[in-house]
Amino acid sequence: MQIDKLRGEELDHLFDAILSLKNREECYRFFDDIATMSEIQSLSQRLQVAKMLTEGYTYKTIEKETKASTATISRVRRCIDYGSEGYKLVLDRVAKKDK
């Protein structure tokens, strides 16, 4: 897996901070402080692209509905196909929670 290149004390601290959040409201407050609106929207857009890709939508439909560039869609597709299965993990858990 490629995740070893990410590992480090500073990133561990960030992830521990995120894992300490107890609900959606705390997430809104934390991410409002730690990231720009553009950064948050980019992350949200990538997750939506991943969801749509795994549901079989075409690049054209994804581009139209999410306003993501084809480069972003391709990058997310590569992560789904060859990444660390992070998108799959999260999308599966959210789907189970929504049922």
* CATH of the domain spanning 39-99: 1.10.1270.10
Question: CA–CA distance from 5 to each of 1, 37, 66, 94 (Å)?
Answer: 9, 26, 29, 26
> What digits encode the pLDDT tens for the residues 15-64?
999 999 999 999 999 999 999 999 999 999 999 999 999 999 999 999 99
pTM of the predicted protein model:
0.89
Two tokens, residue 29:
């407050």
User: Where do we find the tokens 């306003």?
Assistant: 67
Q: Which amino acid is at 42?
A: S
> What digits encode the pLDDT tens for the residues 72-87?
999 999 999 999 999 9
User: Where do we find the tokens 């949200």?
Assistant: 44
User: For the chain, which residues make up each domain, given as ranges?
Assistant: 1-34, 39-99
